[in-house]
Chain A
Amino acid sequence: MSRAATAALRDPLRGLSTWWTMLKICLEERLVYRGDFALGTLMRFLPIVTQVFLWTAVFSATSRSDIAGYSRNDIVAYYLLTMLTRAFSSMPGLAGGIARSVRDGSVKKFLIQPVDYVSFLLAARVAHKLVYYAVAVVPFGLVFFLCRSYFPPVPDATTIAAFLLSLVLSFLLGFFMEATLGMLGFWFMEVSSIVFGYMLVQYLLSGHMFPIDLLRTVPVGSGGVSLADVVHWLPFEYTAYFPSAVWLGKVRGPELLGSLAIEAAWVVAMAIACRIAWRRGTRRYAAFGG
């Protein structure tokens, strides 16, 4: 558990107010650069447009009515939903920012000031996301409204609850994975390549590129295990594929519960990894004088 969180338990009011101040500062900082924001949000929809056209072209040339259980409408809905889930789980600049702060020494600030770095980053990220949603709700709402005919009927309350839970978990999972990655900056001078490699695997195995169900036809070994089965146990698909599949009703019942458990377990594991990396990293930093 983070130091700020521990402090919050000991002295709830003061902990909260520290946290709230950090959040406010970050919000203000983000709002100054509104031009970037508006542009960024708009741009985010462009790749999906290409994907939709690509799949439309694929469906136009094939005699099948569905691909791996997805109709063309399902595919469109799927991509739109991964946009939404990625809005929760993607952490642009987080790992790189941490690594940079180590490299240029600005991380020292957090060794001196009575502020816990991981908590600070988390607060900053929550702020970043909140501001992003505040701006993005308009384009998102518009796109989802225009594309409503591609979606299946709104699912039942349990599915919606599971979907929301999976989204929150995907935010935490994305945060702790990237933060841990950034902490590698204590050991390696340039982590940009590692981050890039991570993004690559993430892009392929999170379901950002295509529904993971497409990998059911790709065998791993000869025991009847598919690549999709392997991916199921990795953290990646929980940052894009899983919440989308939940909304589309592709994961139900006990499988849904099991998947949520795996996702939660990964969140805890990565949070611990992040904490360990920070502790070891700062110790190393202090020892070698940055």
Chain B
Amino acid sequence: MSEAATAKVFKPAPPVDRITVKVDGQVVVVPKLSPDWQGKLVPTTMIQACEAAGVTIPHYCYHPQLPVAGNCRMCLVEFGTPALGPDRKPVTNPDGSAVINKSPRPAIACATPVSPGMEIYANTPGVKAMRQGVLEFLLINHPLDCPICDQAGECKLQEYSVEYGQSATRFVEAKVHKPKAVDLGPRIMLDDERCILCTRCIRFTRDFVGDDALGIVNRGSYNTIATYPGHKFDNNYTLNTVDLCPVGALTSKDFRFEMRVWFLRETKSVCPSCGTGCNLLIGSRENRIYRYTPRDNPAVNGPWMCDAGRLDYKWIARDDRLKDARGSRPEVRTWRDVLAELAGRLRPATAGSVAIVASARLTNEELYLIRKLAQRLGAATDTIPHLGDGDRLLVNADKNPNTAGARLLGISAKPAGANLNDFAAGIRDGLIKTLIVFREDVTRFGLGADLLGRLDTLVASNVLPNETTKLAHFVLPGCAPAEKRGSFTNIHGRVQRITKAVEPPGDARPEWEFLGELLELITDRRAPATIEGLFNQMAGEVPAFHGLRWAALGDSGVTMPLEPGK
């Protein structure tokens, strides 16, 4: 990196005004201004100062990535400010400490700015009594149907009830009943009885998504969340409101009544559905994936992700998954035999007689092994672009998760897909005798069945069957991203790790494993047997990944310059 670029990146930050406050007697220094949900600098609030001091204030409506509403009143705290004498100077005690005037009223921590010398009392008996009172009011009309509620186990109402709740209700009147199982939109089901009216969902869809779809109708105890009559709550981000909802009012139709959340094992991974690469958690139990939920990464997706990416997991459990490795003859069935036969065919291949259609759905490590294979065989490579609809927020038009990785590793042509016509011509002229296809159906991209029939050897590696795998002489069953480890490079050059959550079906194996073995059979040089070793080797060899280590990627990834050398 040049000196100019270094200076640009490490520009000294402007001096920050800082305020010293006390939280439960603990001195904490916070900046006078903090970024709000849009990144605009606004006065730091008491809830942020408490968070900095390690004291978590219970809250429902406050969310750091949303505008402040201040309506749930759960974050009420007591506080005091330094007393000022007639000379407008702080009055001091005999021991030199400032005299604090305790505020006669509590204040909501989420919307009250801190001032110099302020003391916040977050755990006094009075504060606890207020939380108990607020919670009791919130529970007055709550149906308490936790046994049938999908939120149970990750419900703020349950959590705070343990801390501040009463063991029995004092409310003897009939509860107000509201509509249950209201169909809000194609992916969202609303239970109005459970709603505590924190308006997080309203603010999210109005201010973040820009789709003013939700609102509160009726008055008093009959307040309900609703859409405009006849309209549906349907945008690319509706399912985020299910995560946002602190109670079980908004539920996902897809996950509804599927599994209790405490059974789900959460695996940190990255969404493979588009070039954005949102960080997510894979919720799985007994080798079945139940849901994807977003994982907070301010550098990529914040705490959100799109609905399409979230629901793009069902194909992993399909029954017609490719499960068996297949060679050219029926008796060649085991991985060892298939790879040995394939290596025997590839080893004598002359330069230019092999073409590889890789996929930008493969991980960096797999593409790196394909690059090594292509270099050894003198093969031309390319990937197929998959474009769809994008939006201004998180959905990218590029539906491949690793387009940048394929480009940086030199697998894609410029532009991606440009070599496909050459491949078709090469096959037609008999120059290309072997075609290796990964995760694509080339019959839909100009290499029809008639052309594929002219090949001596067609190798197809995929997860699901398609026309290409049907025609292939060799079938190498691969893994979905949730079934293997590796890394993706998103469109902005951020290299992020994916983690295995479930086992692949049958004999299917991660592509990097069998590619490494195939490469060893052809070159007699062993590829690293672990994903860590493979990544570190790639970082050493490929200039675009220089300076990266697997361990340094961490859970949130590292951004690399997309144009190496600049």
A binds B: no
